[in-house]
Amino acid sequence: MQIEDVWIRKVFTGRGDVTVEVELTVEDPSSGEVLVTRAAAPAGASRGMHEVAYFPEGGVDAALAAFEKLVAPEVVGLDVTEAYVVDGKLEEVDGTPRFERIGGAVAIATSFAAAEAGAAALGIPLFAFIGGAYARKLPLPLGNVIGGGKHSRGLGPDIQEFLVMPLNPPDIFTAVYANVEVHKRALKQILKVDSSFTGGKNDEGAWTPRISSRTALKILKEVAAEVGGELGVEIGLGVDVAASSLWNGEKYVYKNEGVERGPREQLEFVAKLIEEFDLVYVEDPFHEEDFQSFAELTDKYRDRLIVGDDLFVTNPARIREGGKLKAATGVIVKPDQIGTLLRAYQAVITAREYGMRPVVSHRSGDTEYKTLAHIAVGFGADVIKTGIMGGERTAKLNELIRLGDYLGKWAVLPQRHWR
Between CA 158 and CA 139 the distance in angstroms is 28
d(CA 81, CA 348): 21
Q: Is 192 a catalytic residue?
A: no
DSSP 151: G
Q: Which of 204, 283, 392, 399 is catalytic?
A: 204
Which residues are registered as beta bridge partners of 33?
none
DSSP tag of 271:
H
3-state SS, residue 415: coil
Q: SS in 3 state form for 180-242?
A: HHHHHHHHHHHHHHCCCCCCCECCCCCECCCCCHHHHHHHHHHHHHHHHHHHCCCEEEEEECC
What does each C-alpha distance from 148 to 145, 152, 167, 226 come to in angstroms? 10, 5, 24, 24
10 Å CB burial of residue 157 (0-12, 13-18, 19+) is buried
Query: Is 221 one of the catalytic residues?
Result: no
Nearest to 127 by CA among 397, 396, 359, 377: 377
Separation CA 419–CA 417 (nearest Å): 7
Residue 146 Cα distances to 213, 318, 360, angstroms: 10, 30, 20
Which residues, in sequence order, are CB contacts of 285 under 8 Å at separation 6+?
Answer: 241, 243, 266, 267, 270, 293, 294, 297, 306
Q: Which residue is catalytic, options 334, 370, 385, 396? A: 334
Angle between helices 104-122 and 83-94 (to 10 degrees): 160
Residues classed as catalytic: 204, 334
